[in-house]
Amino acid sequence: MKNKAEVVIIGGGVVGCAISYELAKRGVKDIVLLERKYLTSGATGRCGAGVRQQWGTEMNLKLSIGSVKRFETLREELGYEKDIEFIQTGYFMPAYTEKQVEQFKKNIELQKKFGLKVEFLTPQDSKNVVPIVNTNGLLGATFYDKDGHCNPFHVTYAYSEAAKRLGVEINIFTEVVGIKTDGYTVKSVLTNKGKIDCDIIVNAAGGWSQIIGQMAGVKIPTYSERHQIFVTEPIEPLFRPMVMSFYHNFYTQQEPNGAILMGFGDPTEPKDFNQGHTYKFLENVTTRVIEVLPPLGKARLLRQWSGLYNMSPDKTPIIGEAPELKNFYMACGFSGHGFMISPMTSTLIAQMICGEELSIPEVKTKLDLGRFDRGELFVEPSVV
């Protein structure tokens, strides 16, 4: 392991790996990435893999639309030998209250301005998109056929292998145990395998970002929260889009191989680092999903697992340099949506570090850490 680097990136999930690639691509030398376990061992490798563009704010629309553009050609750009499995089968978002209908219609107006042809479907039309949907209580749904999903493992390894070819040093099973600063700027990173002096640190530690912040003396108001998920045995094709219900707090999708993924956001989940699994979750999610999509009752549960959402107070990411510590950059607090916007996040962080003009200039003043102290919370109406 090097003992000196220009940039040290903490975290070997998709965000950290993508940042290492974007920096190396821009000619930054001496980049070291540190991962406490193996690449994708955190939230990246446990996520639902959805890629959604149906958002309710300009910021999230820009982040997600820009990311989808990159996913479309990422494999070629990174020269990856396997398919990253980016499949656009759409997101179907049912509405069960008048308030949701109103919000969805408002979102569609904004989404149209960004060129997204999102449809508002009547319950009857919903049947054409998701034939197995139960229309009881359904008031309508939005559908966008260019949303989809992508393989988080392959995307991460595509970035990390491309980064390695550009000279990035990736150290797995290397845990950060401390950060040295002079109170003004970062000085070095201490790991279980030794010290690395560095000019810049990027905190891409996902569920552990707040702990990395503490080590650097930077208070990051993120917290971690377990989200559980399961997969079934493959069954015959029953529906194509991701079905995501804000009303029930679930998302479900049938993968290309026929297996069905189901996840549920439990509002009673405590703030901690637990990555275990519970039977209660199985009851919570199956009763809700099967009410909406009854034929899925015949699918057989294969495996359940969980991962950590790194939540920020306004459920929106923190992207940028710390106000009180120079050269300490953060890409964290993704609140369950880090994978889908990782191509844009990594580009923005690399642009900031390299002093380039940002693809989304307002990120600097709207997604920075300082917004919490200024009381300028970012409000996104469309989150689970």
Partner 1 sequence: MNREEEGKITVCRCSDVTLKEIRDLIRKGYTTLDEIKRLSRAGMGQCEGKTCRTLIMQEIAKATGKTMEEIDVPTFRPPIVTVPLKLIVEESKNEK
Q: Is 155 in the site for partner 1 (CB under 8 A)?
A: no
Contacting residue, 116, 299, 319, 322, with partner 1 by CB under 8 A: 299
- Alpha-carbon distance of 32 to 168, in angstroms, equals 6
- Residue closer to partner 1, measured from CB, 74 or 330: 74
CB of 328 to partner 1, least distance (A): 29
Q: Is 254 in the site for partner 1 (CB under 8 A)?
A: no
Residues 26-45: x/- map of binding to partner 1 (CB under 8 A)? Answer: -----------xxxxx---x
- Max CA-CA distance within the chain? 63
- Residue closer to partner 1, measured from CB, 242 or 319: 242
For CA atoms 106, 107, 112, 118, the dihedral sign is negative
- Alpha-carbon distance of 206 to 333, in angstroms, equals 7
Q: Is 86 in the site for partner 1 (CB under 8 A)?
A: no
- Alpha-carbon distance of 123 to 120, in angstroms, equals 10
Phi, psi (rounded to 5 degrees) for 95: -115, 135
Q: Which of residues 42-61 bind partner 1 (CB under 8 A)?
A: 45
CB of 290 to partner 1, least distance (A): 5
Contacting residue, 128, 305, 374, 379, with partner 1 by CB under 8 A: 305
Q: Which of residues 124-153 bind partner 1 (CB under 8 A)?
A: 153
Q: Is 302 in the site for partner 1 (CB under 8 A)?
A: yes
Contacting residue, 286, 342, 346, 382, with partner 1 by CB under 8 A: 286
Q: Which of residues 222-251 bind partner 1 (CB under 8 A)?
A: 232-233
Element (H, E) at 371: helix 370-374
- Residue closer to partner 1, measured from CB, 75 or 315: 75
Q: Of the listed pieces 137-145, 217-225, 277-285, 314-322, which binds partner 1 according to CB under 8 A? A: 277-285
CA distances from 272 to 147, 155, 180, 207 (A): 31, 27, 26, 9
Q: Is 304 in the site for partner 1 (CB under 8 A)?
A: yes
Give the total of residues touching partner 1 (CB under 8 A).
29
Phi, psi (rounded to 5 degrees) for 138: -75, 130
Phi, psi (rounded to 5 degrees) for 168: -70, 135
Q: Do 2 and 195 meet the contact criterion of CB atoms below 8 Å apart?
A: no
Element (H, E) at 72: helix 58-78
- Residue closer to partner 1, measured from CB, 1 or 302: 302
CB of 151 to partner 1, least distance (A): 9
Report the 10 Å Cβ neighbour count for 215: 19
- Residue closer to partner 1, measured from CB, 177 or 301: 301
Phi, psi (rounded to 5 degrees) for 264: -145, 135
Q: Which of residues 320-379 bind partner 1 (CB under 8 A)?
A: none
DSSP 208: G
Structure tokens at 353: 């570090």
Question: Strand, coil or helix: what is 250?
Answer: strand
- Residue closer to partner 1, measured from CB, 118 or 289: 289
- Residue closer to partner 1, measured from CB, 116 or 308: 308
The burial class, CB within 10 Å (0-12 / 13-18 / 19+), for 283 is exposed
The binding site for partner 1 (CB under 8 A) comprises 37-41, 45, 153-154, 157, 232-233, 277, 279, 282-283, 286-287, 289-290, 296-305
